[in-house]
Amino acid sequence: MDLLNYYLIPTALGISLSACCGFRVFIPLLVAGLAAKFKYLPLSAGFEWMSSWPAIICFGVASLAEVVAYYFPVIDNLLDTVTTPSAFIAGTALSASVFTEFDPMTKWISAIVAGGGTAGAIQAGTGILRLGSTKLTAGLGNGIIATAENALSIIGSILALIVPVVIFSMVVVGVVAILYRVFLRKHSTTS
C-alpha cells in the first residue's frame, strides 16, 4: 500500500497535471494551488508557496490572460513559441511539487523527464495542430482548438486530482499517439 500511496499515485498525479500544462501553462498550476490551499493536495517541501494567495492570484490572472490570448489568430501562434519552453518548466515544477516522498535526485530527474517531457510533448502536438489549422483555415478554426485545449486543461487538471491513474493512462495514450504521428510524418517525408 505504501508503494501505491507514496510513489505510484503521486507519479500519476504529477504526470497528469504536467500534461495539462501542455494545453495551458497556468491552469494546472492554479488548480494545484487551490487544491493545496484547501488541504486536498499535499505539496513537497519548498513548494508551499504555490498555495499562497499571491501565487493563486498570479496563476488566476495568468490563466485568464492565456485563455483569452489563444482566441486571437497570429497571437496564438506566437504564444506557442513562448509556451513550449514554459510548459516544460511548469510541468517539471508541478511534478516535483507533488513528488512528496521521492528523494531529491529521483524527484528532479523524474520531474524533468516525465513531467517536463510530457508537458513539452503535449504542447508541441497542440502547436503543430494549430499551425495546421492556421494553414487550412487562415486562423479562423484556431478558436475551436483553443476551446478544446482550455477544456482539456481545466477538466484534466481537476480529474487528475480525483482519478490520477485514469488520467495518467489517457496521457500515456495521447503522448504515444502524438509521438507516433510526429515520427510517422518525419519518416514519410524523408522517404
Q: At what angle do helices 164-190 and 9-21 cross, to 10 degrees?
A: 50
* Residue 139 within a domain: yes
Residue 191 pLDDT grade (very low, low, confident, very high; cuts 50, 70, 90): low
Chain centroid to CA 21: how far? 2
Residue 39: the pLDDT is: 96
Cα distance between residue 114 and residue 171, in whole Å = 11
Instruction: Give pTM, 2 decimals.
Output: 0.89
In a domain, 53, yes or no: yes
pLDDT digits (tens, 9 = 90+) for 93-135: 999 999 998 999 999 999 999 999 999 989 988 998 999 999 9
CA-to-CA separations, 103 to 14, 89, 117, 139, in angstroms, rounded: 15, 20, 20, 46
In total, how many domains does the chain have?
A: 1
Summarize pLDDT for 68-79 with one digit per residue, the tens. 999 998 899 899
* Higher-confidence position of 175 and 113: 113
The residue written with cell numbers 518548466 in the block is 89
Question: pLDDT digits over 17-47, tens only?
Answer: 999 999 999 999 999 999 999 999 999 999 9
Is residue 52 pLDDT above 70, yes or no? Answer: yes
81: helix, strand or coil: helix
- Whether residue 106 lies inside any domain: the answer is yes
Residue 117 maps to a domain: yes
191 domain residue, yes or no: no
Domain, as residue range, for 122: 2-186
